[in-house]
């Protein structure tokens, strides 16, 4: 196995150092002979062994003797470790590309490519909602038994189904929304937006949104886009709602009468109850064809889910 390890090491070093290219060639020749069931050149094996021992003997004669005696076994150990670490690295890179985390879907463990954990941060639910990293409970998230019929759904020509559970006050919901719109447009996916008050009082915006859809239909999507992409402090101030309605030339009186009605308040209340059935624990939670993605993932993660090449 020393020749395999030497091939990889000297192959990489040889790219930058001409003095190591001959060793890389010898290592390649050695590996090729072993693959074809021929013995490796003794000279090359001894050359590598000599280089290793010369480094060790200067530090410890005892250690050099032990390495010399168990050289072949140690070579196999390092080979197995190298293969294992290589697989681990490639697995981490793949998972980061597909899931946005080196550790797998919605996993918040340390990832060298996303050290701050931005791809898995959410606004957690509860009275004292704060922004933080998600717990590993995404396996319990589901749309089974959840009635989404009262939420606004955009029907497109595609077969993919996207359900976004977001909060107008959640920075992470706001961060991911442009990518979701891009995804819907590019993939022509069917799309449902479900407002959930994860942080602060945003129920009044959900009530207004329900009425805007009821009265003005497709204009709802422009209104909803503004609520998620406009200046947050302005939008979350309830006293500014009429100004926002005025921006879109909506009938302020009609929308307010609708959103203040007992019927609409009950509907929005029931919507929140339905969303709790998903076992949601933070926003944004995005379901793509039934699979849950928690936190603002990179666009490629959502695109990959629709391309259906997620293997593990």
Residue 179 scores a pLDDT above 60: yes
Q: pLDDT tens for residues 24-81?
A: 555 555 555 555 555 555 455 566 666 666 767 777 777 767 766 766 676 666 556 5
**pTM of model > 0.75:** no
User: Which superfamily does 122-307 belong to?
Assistant: Glutaredoxin (3.40.30.10)
User: Could you tell me the residue ranges of all domains in the chain?
Assistant: 2-88, 122-307
* pLDDT exceeds 70 at position 284: yes
Report the chain's C-alpha Rg in angstroms.
29
Report whether pLDDT(95) > 60: yes
Residue 147 has pLDDT above 60, yes or no: yes
pLDDT at 63: 75
The rounded distance, in Å, linking the Cα atoms of 203 and 201 is 6
Percent of the chain past pLDDT 90, that is, above it, reads 44
At residue 190, the pLDDT reads 94
Question: Where are the alpha helices (H) located in the chain, listed in sequence order?
Answer: 2-16, 21-35, 42-57, 61-69, 71-99, 171-187, 203-216, 219-229, 232-236, 241-247, 252-259, 262-276, 299-307
């Amino acid at each position: 196995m020393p020749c395999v390890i030497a091939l990889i090491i000297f192959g990489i070093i040889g790219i930058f150092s001409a003095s190591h290219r001959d060793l890389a060639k010898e290592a390649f020749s050695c590996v090729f002979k072993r693959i074809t069931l021929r013995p490796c050149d003794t000279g090359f094996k001894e050359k590598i062994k000599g280089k290793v021992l010369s480094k060790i003997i200067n530090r410890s004669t005892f250690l050099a003797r032990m390495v010399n005696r168990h050289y072949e076994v140690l070579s196999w150990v390092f080979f197995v470790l190298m293969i294992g670490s290589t697989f681990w690295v490639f697995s981490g890179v793949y998972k980061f590309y597909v899931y946005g985390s080196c550790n797998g879907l919605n996993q918040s463990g340390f990832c060298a490519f996303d050290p701050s954990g931005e791809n898995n941060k959410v606004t957690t639910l509860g009275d004292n909602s704060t922004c933080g990293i998600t717990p590993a409970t995404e396996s319990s998230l589901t749309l089974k038994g959840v009635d989404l019929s009262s939420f606004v759904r955009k029907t497109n020509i595609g077969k993919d189904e996207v359900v976004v559970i977001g909060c107008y006050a959640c920075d992470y919901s706001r961060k991911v929304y442009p990518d979701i719109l891009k995804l819907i447009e590019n993939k022509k996916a069917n799309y449902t937006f479900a407002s959930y008050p994860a942080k602060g009082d945003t129920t009044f915006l959900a009530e207004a949104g329900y009425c805007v859809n009821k009265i003005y239909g497709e204009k709802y999507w422009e209104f909803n886009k503004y609520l998620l992409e406009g200046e947050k402090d302005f939008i979350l101030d309830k006293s500014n709602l009429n100004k926002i309605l005025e921006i879109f030339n909506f009938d302020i009186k009609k929308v307010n009468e609708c959103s203040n009605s007992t019927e609409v308040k009950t509907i929005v209340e029931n919507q929140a109850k339905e969303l709790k059935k998903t076992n949601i624990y933070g926003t944004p939670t995005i379901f793509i064809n039934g699979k849950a993605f928690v936190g603002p993932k990179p666009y490629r993660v959502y695109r990959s889910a629709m391309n259906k090449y997620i293997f593990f």
